[in-house]
Amino acid sequence: MQTKIVTIGDEILIGQITDTNSAWLGRRLNAAGIKVAEIISIQDNKEQIKKTLDKALNECEIVLVTGGLGPTKDDITKTCLAELFSCELVRDDKTYRFLETMLKERSIEFNELNRSQASVPSCCTVLPNSNGTAPGMWFERGGHVLVSMPGVPFEMKMLFEEEVLPRLKRYFSLKTIVHKTAITFGLPESILAETIASWENTLPRYIRLAYLPNPNGIRLRLSAYEMDGTAVAAEIDRRFDELQTIIPDYFLGFDDATIESSLAGMLLRHKKTLSVAESCTGGSIAQRFTAMAGASDYFLGGVVSYSNEMKENILHVSHETLVKYGAVSEQVACQMAEGIRRITSSDYSIATTGIAGPTGGTDEKPVGTVWMAIATPEGTFAEKRIFGHLREQNIARATSFATNMLRMHILSSEKKK
Amino acid sequence: MQTKIVTIGDEILIGQITDTNSAWLGRRLNAAGIKVAEIISIQDNKEQIKKTLDKALNECEIVLVTGGLGPTKDDITKTCLAELFSCELVRDDKTYRFLETMLKERSIEFNELNRSQASVPSCCTVLPNSNGTAPGMWFERGGHVLVSMPGVPFEMKMLFEEEVLPRLKRYFSLKTIVHKTAITFGLPESILAETIASWENTLPRYIRLAYLPNPNGIRLRLSAYEMDGTAVAAEIDRRFDELQTIIPDYFLGFDDATIESSLAGMLLRHKKTLSVAESCTGGSIAQRFTAMAGASDYFLGGVVSYSNEMKENILHVSHETLVKYGAVSEQVACQMAEGIRRITSSDYSIATTGIAGPTGGTDEKPVGTVWMAIATPEGTFAEKRIFGHLREQNIARATSFATNMLRMHILSSEKKK
């Protein structure tokens, strides 16, 4: 079954927003056994919209459209759909009453622009959007389906889960796709590929391997299409079990696993707590842990000690050490880690201090130099890396590297037991 | 001039990665006067790759391709390009020597997979990639250009800036596109639209207005295509000056302006400093400020006081207050803000405490309840909001709202002077 995702909006083509909806839809559709053949982003242009949607609907059983449904003049998707399906825009009473109530609750005036959100092409089935003003619309033509959804990500997601996916499941008989992805961190792609080459070569032909590198590690995805789902899933699990014995230290887990989720799992399993002291990562480590639900079970908190005064006054880094070795040094990283561990009485701590850039580097300590330390019941350990010259990347890499130091430490402690 | 961006990789279609390259390319191309007509993402499938690229090259003067150039088996873009342009893969000696040196420096073995990265279609111009193992490739056909670049974002970006864009500028004579975007925060789209309707109606016909809502505010973009660049840019500036007088409090700035960059500008202008005390936002506020270069000029640091103990021990929130009112209360938010301001001796501070979810809510304080406070030389102020039930969104909204509280406060202090 062919499926196409079409996202509409000049803001995507000029790069003012990144289209995150398509990736999310791709993930959800795959999980449901619907394979996406193509994602296409086009402009707020009537001819291009009509032509692209018409072609997509001829070629594909399912066409999912996002964007262009706002109340303002540049949003023309609805008009295009009415013309494409040769019908009039009419007021949908249920949507009208919903909008009236919602805007009243939020103390927003129900003006002409908002009222226009209740107009829909007469030939569509309206899909109620409980989180916003633009409803979804379901169209059918010759056994093919086109669904129009708002572009605001959380509105689109709720509408898809609540209204679109259940209808697609009923309308089409779906084939099984099995995907599973192992997350690795710490081996460059070429070395990883060489290390697991013999494992890769023994994979059965119906299972495909893909390498997906990103700054947070290299992901290995095994996929099988249109097979018996249960048997294939079991076979993929067995293959990944083998893989894990080949690269145990570099194996973070599956699917959405990250260095921090893997470490969080270890801390919960051992009933241990964590605190952080961040200089160059500026809150990024804390932010990654607290983004995960349930963080308060092991994460006590942290200090972002951007100034030397905070390093001294709150973390009790010694003034002499700061003067003698400088803020970006092994000694300061260790004292930061030990300081926050002592203050919070946490079992473990992570600390970073470095020069994120773009300025602030010296010959001895160029931009990208970062000292990272962990304080543990087994002692304090520090490592230095020189990452690069881009601020954003230096912060991201130091965050991953420092977190991984603690993960590797606990992993090796587990093995010793 | 028609331009198409083609991204290749199953990982995009199944949503395992979000395509951020296209938005970045769209932005850079637009700034250079090249308009993107379409962005299309396709699978690692030989027939689909060849068919899509052939069609794109027929229709468009410029085709930019990213992805599928890795050293592993699932990366087939290079083979497809060789077939599409009917030529052989041959070793490029310069790339070969570069790879040999780079991998030696990084202590990575120069194995068969890495050596294969030096093979390129004989009919292309090789564009050296100084940040990775896959070089870029420039093809020409009937006056049209196809450029293949690696999919790893920072490699692609450097290659595009250093090699691709200068060549495109030389090869084509480019027309001018002027875009400028004003960033607003604090007014819902429909109210904003109504407030500025008369301004919108007086815009000349050659200037287009677009509304781009996102969680960090609504952006208003004015665009003019194929006009005299200097005159149009001046006219757009004049229109935005008018707009700023209509919605002064909601106007953050232009283009990449954010609440935090706007606030940072104020702090630098007044030579004032900032500290933060975060509970439910978990480091997100600190992270947003420290992500900006030069943050150390005004940002002293912060405390992520996830546990009550940290609120008491480091921020000196009173134990009685915590017991009497609970951690999520006006009193605790104010004491957190005052505590971090006192400890760091900063001029201003921002504090948050709330229930990010998905669990932890009560009837009285449902998930999404957040108290936010600012401590200033003019006093301490707090506000409560109930955002919603999604953790990620609650964190993002509380981060924006709390930061905006301080921005609005300083703005109103400025007016009083």
Distances, alpha carbon A164 to alpha carbons A6, A174, A385, B265, in Å: 15, 15, 48, 44
Nearest to B278 by CA among B303, B298, B253, B300: B303
**Residue B215 pLDDT greater than 70, yes or no:** no
The number of angstroms, rounded, from the C-alpha of B314 to the middle of its chain's C-alpha atoms is 34
Cross-strand partners of A302: A276, B304
What residue ranges of chain A have pLDDT lower than 70?
73, 175-176, 215, 226-229
pLDDT of residue A284: 97
Q: What average pLDDT does the segment B166-193 reach?
A: 86
Residues A206-251 pLDDT 10s: 898 988 877 678 989 898 876 666 788 899 999 999 999 999 999 9
Q: Which residue in A154, A211, A303 is closest to B303 by CB distance?
A: A303
What gap in Å lies between CA A244 and CA A411, rounded to an integer? 14
What gap in Å lies between CA A1 and CA A34, rounded to an integer? 7
Q: Which residue in A15, A306, A344 is closest to B25 by CB distance?
A: A15
Q: Which residues in chain B have Cβ-Cβ distances shorter than 8 Å to A209?
A: 73-74
Residues A154-201 pLDDT 10s: 899 999 999 999 899 889 877 667 889 999 998 888 899 999 999 999
Helix (H, G, I), strand (E, B) or coil at B74: coil
Q: Is the peptide bond before A121 cis (omega within 30 degrees of 0)?
A: no
Burial class of residue A384, CB neighbours in 10 A (0-12, 13-18, 19+): middle
A296/B290 Cβ within 8 A: no
What gap in Å lies between CA A352 and CA A374, rounded to an integer? 9
Nearest to B165 by CA among B61, B32, B53, B56: B32
Ramachandran angles phi, psi of B274, nearest 5°: -135, 145
What gap in Å lies between CA A173 and CA A196, rounded to an integer? 37
Q: Which residues in chain A have Cβ-Cβ distances shorter than 8 Å to B293?
A: 357-359, 391
Residues B347-384 pLDDT 10s: 999 999 999 999 999 999 999 999 999 999 999 999 99
B359/A276 Cβ within 8 A: no
Contact B17, B86 (CB under 8 A): no
Q: What average pLDDT does the segment B334-347 reach?
A: 97
The string over A71-100, giving b where at least 16 C-beta atoms fall within 10 Å of a residue's C-beta and e elsewhere, is bbebbbbbbbbbebbeeeeeebeebbebbe
Q: For residue B76, give both structure tokens.
A: 């087939």
Q: How confident is the model at residue B247 (pLDDT cuts 50, 70, 90)?
A: very high
pLDDT of residue B242: 96
Distance (Å) from the alpha carbon of B158 to chain A's nearest alpha carbon: 11
**∠ CA(B260), CA(B266), CA(B272), 5° rounding?**
105
Contact A92, A118 (CB under 8 A): yes
Model ipTM value: 0.75
What gap in Å lies between CA A276 and CA A295, rounded to an integer? 13
Ramachandran angles phi, psi of A45, nearest 5°: -135, 120
Residues B258-309 pLDDT 10s: 999 999 999 999 999 999 999 999 999 999 999 999 999 999 999 999 999 9
For residue B93, count other CB atoms closer than 10 A to its CB. Answer: 10
What gap in Å lies between CA A287 and CA B94, rounded to an integer? 43
Q: Which residue in A193, A284, A309 is closest to B72 by CB distance?
A: A193
pLDDT of residue A132: 84
Cross-strand partners of A212: A219
What gap in Å lies between CA A81 and CA A87, rounded to an integer? 9
Q: In A259-311, which ranges are E strands?
A: 274-278, 299-305
**Residue B179 pLDDT greater than 80, yes or no:** yes
pLDDT of residue B176: 66
Q: How confident is the model at residue B96 (pLDDT cuts 50, 70, 90)?
A: very high
Among A49, A304, A353, pick the best mutation site for testing chain B contact (most B Cβ within 10 A). A304
pLDDT of residue B167: 93
User: Which residue does chain A place closest to B286, by CA atoms?
Assistant: A283
pLDDT of residue B24: 95
Q: What average pLDDT does the segment B37-43 reach?
A: 95
**Residue B417 pLDDT greater than 80, yes or no:** no
pLDDT of residue B324: 97
User: Which residue does chain A place closest to B310, by CA atoms?
Assistant: A344
Cross-strand partners of A222: A180, A209
Q: At what angle do helices B259-270 and B391-416 cross, to 10 degrees?
A: 30
pLDDT of residue A396: 93
pTM of the model as a whole: 0.76
pLDDT of residue A178: 82
The string over A200-218, giving b where at least 16 C-beta atoms fall within 10 Å of a residue's C-beta and e elsewhere, is beeeeeebbbbbbbeebbb
Q: For residue B51, give both structure tokens.
A: 């068919």
Three-class SS of A96-119: HHHHHHHHHHCCCCCCHHHHHCCE
pLDDT of residue B263: 97
Residues B401-410 pLDDT 10s: 999 999 999 9
Q: Which residues in chain A have Cβ-Cβ distances shorter than 8 Å to B41?
A: 22, 38-40
Q: In B83-228, which ranges are E strands?
A: 89-91, 119-121, 125-127, 136-141, 144-149, 177-184, 208-214, 217-225
